[in-house]
């Protein structure tokens, strides 16, 4: 392993260690957000651009390092910036963080995985190169698949970077809006499970299935030609 890769790993480990050593996760709870909401709103009123940049920086780091607290951060964006602006800022930050995780995984591990399992993954790689956007949208929209795991797994394949970025930005907008919209009415929320109701999750799953329609059509057409 070269020095640059080793430096990236050490830097990430240090950030993770600091997060858990100082127990920063205590600030990423619903109770903490409610307790500090007024103070954050007052700070935003005086320092609008700085607040946006700080919030986005925190979200980018959280996503890039796969730390807990994404749902709380999305609620916070809605509570401080409003539903629409909060959605834009949160989705942009989450997409940047996800892309950082994707690129780091690809840089650190992609070649190793491809050398060892390239033959077994060849069919998957070809499929992702051709229809990767549909698959990624499905994975982003259906809330069954962990967000961070998708970032890391995608980096190990030959999924094009452009496809990853577009699929991530588009795929997380519905979920981002749901949480930011809920955050705009923070006082009415008593638990995170109240945000993602069964109806909301079902709607996301339906959108995910629609995203797979081009893949299904291509498979059927291919078999008909065969």
Runs of H (alpha helix) within 82-110: 83-105
Q: List, as own/partner pairs, every contact residues 202-210 make where C-beta atoms lie below 8 angstroms and the sequence separation is at least 24, other chains included.
A: 203/174, 204/141, 204/142, 204/143, 204/174, 204/175, 205/141, 205/142, 205/143, 207/141, 207/174, 208/137, 208/138, 208/139, 208/140, 208/141, 208/142, 209/138
pLDDT at 1: 63
Q: What is the pLDDT of residues 65-112, one digit of tens each?
A: 999 999 999 999 999 999 999 999 999 999 999 999 999 999 998 888
Q: Where in the chain are the domains?
A: 3-225
Average per-residue pLDDT for the chain? 91
- Tokens (6 digits) for 167: 């699929």
Q: What is the pLDDT of residues 175-189, one digit of tens each?
A: 999 999 999 999 889
pLDDT at 206 over 80: yes
Q: What is the pLDDT of residues 13-41, one digit of tens each?
A: 999 999 999 999 999 999 999 999 999 99
């Amino acid at each position: 392993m070269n020095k640059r890769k080793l430096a990236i790993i050490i830097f990430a480990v240090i950030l993770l260690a600091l997060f858990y050593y100082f127990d920063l996760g205590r600030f990423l709870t619903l109770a903490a957000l409610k307790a500090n909401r007024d103070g954050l709103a007052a700070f935003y009123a005086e320092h609008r651009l700085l607040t946006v940049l700080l919030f986005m920086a925190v979200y980018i780091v959280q996503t890039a390092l796969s730390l807990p607290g994404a749902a709380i951060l999305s609620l916070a964006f809605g509570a401080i910036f409003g539903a629409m602006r909060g959605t834009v800022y949160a989705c942009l930050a989450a997409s940047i963080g996800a892309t950082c995780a994707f690129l780091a995984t690809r840089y650190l591990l992609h070649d190793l995985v491809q050398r060892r399992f390239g033959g077994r993954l060849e069919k998957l790689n070809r499929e992702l190169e051709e229809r990767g956007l549909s698959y990624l949208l499905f994975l982003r929209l259906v809330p069954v698949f962990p967000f961070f795991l998708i970032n890391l797994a995608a980096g190990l394949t030959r999924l094009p970077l452009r496809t990853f970025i577009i699929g991530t930005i588009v795929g997380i907008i519905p979920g981002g809006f749901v949480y930011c919209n809920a955050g705009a009415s923070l006082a009415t929320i008593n638990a995170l499970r109240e945000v993602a109701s069964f109806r909301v999750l079902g709607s996301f799953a339906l959108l995910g299935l629609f995203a797979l329609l081009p893949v299904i059509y291509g498979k059927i057409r291919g078999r008909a030609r065969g």
